[in-house]
């Protein structure tokens, strides 16, 4: 006969589950990007999958493979290609390329004469180079890890799609809150994902294109490269692509083109900035309102963990965390009401 009673056995089993769960989470921490990426792609392509499989009666496996290929061509490959281009360009930058030494000397002379900052441009370029190379650490340096991450992500995504009803039923069954709250959380999670991925992606592409167009009009070097940089930093709502027109305008001023400098600054801050605000208003109305603080803090959380993907994953994780806090608060208030009803006034 066992020395433990029924309650003690349950507590021991629960403690063992918690310990093993923590161990598994630690062991899988290196694959967290794959899991989060699979969740994001599942959330984005779920309506398409249900439409083709349940309404059009297409083959499940075929639709899953088509969705995986589509996401690879539309999202993954362009993002990796642009990241590789940025890293390669940063690595090839030196003080003699595209007369960079001349620009830096002019800016340093201008800053030294007017602001007593003789090495302003040189120090700024060094800091920007360090920041950029830290932002894209895993694209070239960890090709094997990137391949493993993508393979696991699509492996998870395939079975999440093919067994979609069983997967969602299991989520509802093991969710630590009531079914209506779980459905509410799923809807909020979907809106947050759409806002952070689709919404911010659209804004980034538009701002990057407009910035590259402005640099090309005013004959600044490498407009496509700076357009890509502007697209990446567009995920920062306070910074954004328009801020890149400020140093570009300083370059034009230092080069003896004050009219072009003023026009470029107005183009960036007034036109690109207002386009950004217009698009954000439409996206927040149709999808979800992601507070700028969530985006900023999320980026600082995500970039050290995921590299360039942290621009998307960081705000998502913070949004999910805040949603869980909201669900917890709702459950706690409901439990308090039930307790007051049970115990009486």
Over residues 20-35, the pLDDT tens digits come to 888 887 777 777 878 8
**Mean pLDDT across the chain:** 75
Pull the structure tokens for residue 233.
């930093």
pLDDT of residue 143: 55
Determine which helix (DSSP H) or strand (DSSP E) holds 296, and give its type and residue range: helix 292-306
- Assess whether pLDDT exceeds 50 at residue 274: yes
Q: Which pLDDT score is estimated for 276? A: 73
pLDDT at 141 over 50: no
**Are 315 and 227 spatial neighbours (Cβ–Cβ below 8 Å)?**
no
C-alpha to C-alpha distance for 101 and 107, rounded to whole angstroms: 10
Q: Please check the confidence at residue 166 and state whether its pLDDT lies above 80.
A: yes
| 66: nearest Cα among 49, 46, 81, 54 | 49
CA proximity to 204, closest of 148, 244, 155, 256: 244
294 close to 322: Cβ distance less than 8 angstroms = yes
Give yes or no for residue 17 having a pLDDT over 50: yes
C-alpha 174/C-alpha 170 separation (Å) is 6
- Quick one: pLDDT at residue 312? 72
**272 or 123, greater pLDDT:** 272
- Per the CB < 8 A criterion, the answer to whether 281 and 158 are in contact is no
**How many angstroms separate the CA atoms of 252 and 106, rounded?**
10
Q: Give pLDDT, residue 66.
A: 93
Q: Give the confidence band of 183 by pLDDT, cuts at 50, 70, 90.
A: confident
CB atoms within 10 A of CB 244: 23
pLDDT of residue 140: 46
According to the model, what pLDDT value does residue 253 have? 79
* 96 pLDDT more than 50: no
pLDDT at res. 139: 45
Q: Answer yes or no: are the C-beta atoms of 245 and 268 closer than 8 Å.
A: yes
Reply yes or no on whether the pLDDT at 342 is more than 60: yes
The pLDDT score that the predictor gives to residue 98 is: 47
Q: How confident is the model at residue 174, as a pLDDT?
A: 75
Q: 3-state SS of 22-81?
A: HHHHHHCHHHHHHHHHHHHHHHHHHHHHHHHHHHCCCCHHHHHHHHHHHHHHHHHHHHHH
**In this model, does residue 101 exceed pLDDT 60?**
no
Specify the pTM. 0.68
Instruction: Give the residue-averaged pLDDT of 96-108.
Output: 55
Which of 26, 138, 131 is closest to 84 using CA atoms? 138
Give mean pLDDT, residues 40-66: 90
Q: What is the pLDDT of residue 340?
A: 76
| Average pLDDT of the segment spanning 152-168 | 89
- Both tokens of residue 33? 């990007």
- Structural tokens at position 115: 């602001």
Is the pLDDT at 322 greater than 70? The verdict is yes
């Amino acid at each position: 006969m066992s020395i433990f009673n029924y309650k003690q056995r349950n507590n021991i089993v629960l403690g063992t589950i918690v310990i093993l769960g923590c161990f598994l989470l630690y062991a899988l921490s290196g694959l967290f990007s794959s899991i989060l990426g699979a969740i994001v792609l599942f959330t984005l392509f779920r309506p398409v999958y249900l439409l083709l499989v349940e309404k059009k009666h297409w083959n499940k496996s075929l639709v899953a493979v088509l969705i995986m290929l589509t996401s690879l061509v539309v999202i993954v490959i362009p993002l990796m290609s642009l990241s590789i281009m940025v890293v390669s360009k940063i690595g090839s930058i030196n003080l003699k390329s595209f007369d960079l030494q001349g620009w830096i000397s002019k800016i340093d002379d201008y800053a030294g004469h007017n602001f007593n900052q003789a090495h302003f441009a040189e120090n700024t370029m060094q800091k920007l180079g360090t920041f950029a190379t830290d932002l894209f650490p895993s694209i070239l340096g960890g090709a094997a890890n990137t391949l493993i991450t993508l393979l696991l992500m699509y492996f998870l995504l395939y079975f999440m799609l093919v067994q979609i009803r069983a997967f969602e039923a299991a989520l509802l069954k093991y969710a630590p809150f009531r079914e209506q709250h779980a459905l509410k959380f799923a809807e909020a999670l979907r809106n947050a994902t759409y806002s952070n991925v689709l919404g911010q992606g659209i804004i980034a592409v538009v701002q990057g294109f407009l910035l590259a167009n402005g640099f090309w009009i005013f004959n600044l070097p490498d407009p496509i490269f700076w357009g890509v940089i502007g697209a990446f930093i567009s995920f920062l709502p306070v910074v954004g692509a328009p801020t890149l027109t400020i140093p570009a305008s300083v370059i034009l001023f230092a080069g003896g083109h004050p009219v072009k400098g003023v026009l470029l600054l107005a183009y960036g801050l007034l036109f690109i900035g207002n386009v950004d605000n217009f698009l954000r208003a439409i996206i927040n109305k149709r999808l979800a309102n992601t507070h700028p603080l969530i985006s900023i803090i999320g980026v600082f959380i995500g970039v050290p963990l995921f590299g360039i993907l942290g621009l998307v994953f960081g705000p998502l994780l913070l949004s999910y965390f805040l949603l869980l806090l909201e669900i917890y608060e709702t459950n706690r208030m409901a439990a308090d009401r039930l307790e007051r009803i049970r115990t009486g006034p």
